[in-house]
Amino acid sequence: MSKQIDVILVDDNPTDVKLIYKFLSKSSNEQFSLTSFDRIGDAIDELTKNSYTVMLLDLCLPDGSGIRTLNKAHQVVPNMPIIIITNEEDDELAIKAVKSGAQDFIVKNTFDASMLYRSIRHAIERKRLWVKLAQTEKREHYLATRDVLTGLPNRHTYNERLKRGLSYCNRYGGKLAVMFMDLDRFKFINDTLGHKVGDILLKEVAKSIQTCLRDTDIVARLGGDEFIFLLPKIDQSLKAAKVAKHILKILSKPFMIEQQEIYISASIGIAMYPSDGDSAVKLIQNADLAMYSAKESGRNKYDFFTKKMNQVVTNRLRLENDMRAALKNDEFFLEYQPVIDTITKKMVGTEALIRWRHPKKGRLYPNDFISIAEETRQIIHIGNWVLEQACIQNKKWQNNSASKMRIAINVSAVQFTQANFVNKVRDILQQTGMDAHYLELELTEGILMQDIDLTFNVLSELRDIGVRISIDDFGTGYSSMSYLKRFPLDILKIDRSFIKDLPHDPIDSAIVTAIAAMARGLSLEIIAEGIENSEQNAFVKKVGCDCMQGFYLQKPVAASSISKLIKA
């Protein structure tokens, strides 16, 4: 059975109303329901309360006539098909009616029941197609001007607004600010918690930062975790700084996503017109440079553009490009820092530490390049190289002496979340012939807590093949008893920040004592990092640390030096 077609008729001629009633009641193919009114005002009141499929409208009514009557109806029900029924055979009026939204125009006394049915069916179909087309055009316009994920303006819309803002400033004078914002460590969150959580976080960030802006300001998403702001009619750079501070403060609050508290920060670069650029391209470029400066100098801050920044960013890009060739050119090398047993004073293992022998800059340490390697994901290849070389070297030491030393290797979040990470570890162990029990993988607390289910599965697989797991820099991150109980762990390494003021700082003394006691209770080995004097040495031994590392005991050295220490 076909769906009922609800018709609302607006006509003040009783004879015409009876005739249309008669026509519609005779239909055998469609079921019609007809409601009639003799005034457009009454019909509009009805349309605000109930919905109808189609309207039959006379343009000559007691309370309205002509196209204005059609416009009144169309304003209330823009998506409902309207058919004009009139006594006037007026081609000009018919054209105006169709242009104003009517789907058909028929003259009374010239149609029969079948013509009326056909007109209604066609009007409904044409209106359906028109609405669909309008929705498509609206969606196409939305896609052309908006970021689909966050609903913010996109790059194209931002550029148009910036051009208009610059045109206004050129004509009437004044200043504006362009601010470029990049979320800190967003790739880490994406890699560890997954893209779904990353997308939700981006939406929440978009909502939060909009609350910091005036009605005349605009923020757009350029893609990924990059956002760009336009602050027009801003007379002082201090006002731009105030907005940037507000944004950083808003983002410092945790975001609750899928029952997890996620902390995020941002780096913001600011370029002012006209002092930092006289074109859209230059302002965006300089704001981007200022953002990189903020990121390089500690993150979670804002910087204004200065001319010196061009050189800083150029150097960073060169380092990134140089890094791509470093593995091929054998520029990376490893040093090894001994791990010493606190009781016997013997070396029980080493920690492998990467260095870069840069052809122009000389020796570079991890702080100089690892963050760039992680951002560009080159850390995956570099990390695999470190793992392979360290295992090869440790196996050589084992073969050349009676010592069965273990070796510790740092693992980045990008490496750890790779789908083939465990297989890669297993393959390298097989290729090098080193027993898995002598390999320790060092992870930070942050890596463990980003995706608890993934972490548990990966750690369990590593434990199954015999690899030992160490928590690096313990005490500086989450330090949660729950994960210490849940995850298959072997070693805690107390961060050097708690060691440096021992034994004179009572708080640090209490913290190290408590960590050592807790580790013993959980049957975990504990290593103290950063031992630099005899007092620290004595303190960590007294509280029960199993092993220690630090410059007081031995600085990181070449493999040949470790070989000599083994033989000594």
User: Regarding predicted confidence, which is higher, 395 or 117?
Assistant: 395
pLDDT band at 65 (very low <50, low <70, confident <90, very high): confident
The pLDDT > 90 percentage for the chain reads 52
Query: Residue 258 belongs to a domain with what CATH number?
Result: 3.30.70.270
- For residues 285 and 253, the answer to whether their CB atoms sit within 8 Å is no
Helix (H) or strand (E) holding 493: strand 491-494
pLDDT attached to residue 475: 65
Distance CA 369, CA 363 (A): 11
Whether residues 414 and 544 fall in one domain: yes
Residue 113: is its pLDDT beyond 70?
yes
Residue 358: is its pLDDT beyond 90?
yes
- pLDDT digit string (tens) for 409-447? 999 988 998 889 999 999 999 999 999 999 999 998 777
pLDDT attached to residue 375: 80
Lowest mean pLDDT segment, chosen from 232-241, 472-481, 557-566 = 472-481
Distance CA 64, CA 73 (A): 11
Whether residues 303 and 414 fall in one domain: no
The verdict on residue 150 lying in a domain is no
Report which residue type is found at 234: I
- For residues 432 and 395, the answer to whether their CB atoms sit within 8 Å is yes
CA distances from 504 to 24, 294, 488, 495, 501 (A): 98, 36, 34, 17, 6
Whether residues 555 and 455 fall in one domain: yes
Distance CA 272, CA 327 (A): 41
Q: Which of 286, 307, 328 is the last residue of a domain?
A: 307
The stretch 449-462 carries a mean pLDDT of 84
pLDDT attached to residue 353: 96
Whether residues 140 and 190 fall in one domain: no
Distance CA 189, CA 471 (A): 19
Structurally, how many domains does the chain consist of?
3
pLDDT attached to residue 162: 95
The verdict on residue 32 lying in a domain is yes
User: Regarding predicted confidence, which is higher, 437 or 2?
Assistant: 437
The tokens describing 51, both together, are 């919905």
Q: Which residue intervals of 194-259 are DSSP H helices?
A: 195-210, 237-251
Whether residues 400 and 438 fall in one domain: yes
pLDDT attached to residue 483: 67
The label of the residue with tokens 């610059």 reads 166
Distance CA 342, CA 540 (A): 8
- pLDDT digit string (tens) for 515-547? 899 888 889 999 999 999 999 999 999 999 999
Report which residue type is found at 393: Q
The stretch 57-65 carries a mean pLDDT of 89
Query: Residue 444 belongs to a domain with what CATH number?
Result: 3.20.20.450
User: Regarding predicted confidence, which is higher, 191 or 176?
Assistant: 176
List the Cα angle 20/26/30 in 5-degree steps. Answer: 95
Residue 142: is its pLDDT beyond 80?
no
The verdict on residue 294 lying in a domain is yes
Whether residues 192 and 111 fall in one domain: no
pTM: 0.57
Whether residues 173 and 224 fall in one domain: yes
The verdict on residue 313 lying in a domain is no
Q: Which of 253, 285, 307 is the last residue of a domain?
A: 307
Whether residues 241 and 138 fall in one domain: no
Is the torsion defined by CA of 536, 540, 541, 543 positive or negative? positive
pLDDT band at 196 (very low <50, low <70, confident <90, very high): confident
The verdict on residue 312 lying in a domain is no
Distance CA 121, CA 24 (A): 12
The label of the residue with tokens 């440790």 reads 394
The tokens describing 158, both together, are 């931002």
- pLDDT digit string (tens) for 300-345? 999 999 888 877 777 878 888 999 999 899 999 999 999 999 999 9
Q: What is the mean pLDDT of the chain?
A: 89
Q: Which of 281, 307, 333 is the last residue of a domain?
A: 307
Whether residues 124 and 170 fall in one domain: no
The pLDDT > 70 percentage for the chain reads 97
pLDDT band at 9 (very low <50, low <70, confident <90, very high): very high
The verdict on residue 37 lying in a domain is yes
Distance CA 399, CA 393 (A): 10
The stretch 71-86 carries a mean pLDDT of 89
Query: Residue 25 belongs to a domain with what CATH number?
Result: 3.40.50.2300
pLDDT band at 110 (very low <50, low <70, confident <90, very high): confident
pLDDT attached to residue 223: 85
**Nearest CA among 206, 235, 203 for reference residue 218:** 206
pLDDT attached to residue 10: 92
Whether residues 296 and 191 fall in one domain: yes
Whether residues 43 and 89 fall in one domain: yes
Q: Which domain holds residue 438?
A: 319-567
Give every CB contact of residue 64 below 8 A, 6+ residues apart in sequence.
39, 40, 41, 72
pLDDT band at 1 (very low <50, low <70, confident <90, very high): very low
Whether residues 329 and 278 fall in one domain: no
| Neighbour count for residue 66 (Cβ, 10 Å) | 13
Helix (H) or strand (E) holding 410: strand 406-410
- For residues 73 and 39, the answer to whether their CB atoms sit within 8 Å is no
> Bridge partners of 256?
261
The verdict on residue 500 lying in a domain is yes
- pLDDT digit string (tens) for 228-277? 999 998 888 899 999 999 999 999 999 998 888 888 999 999 999 999 99
The verdict on residue 20 lying in a domain is yes
> Bridge partners of 57?
10, 84
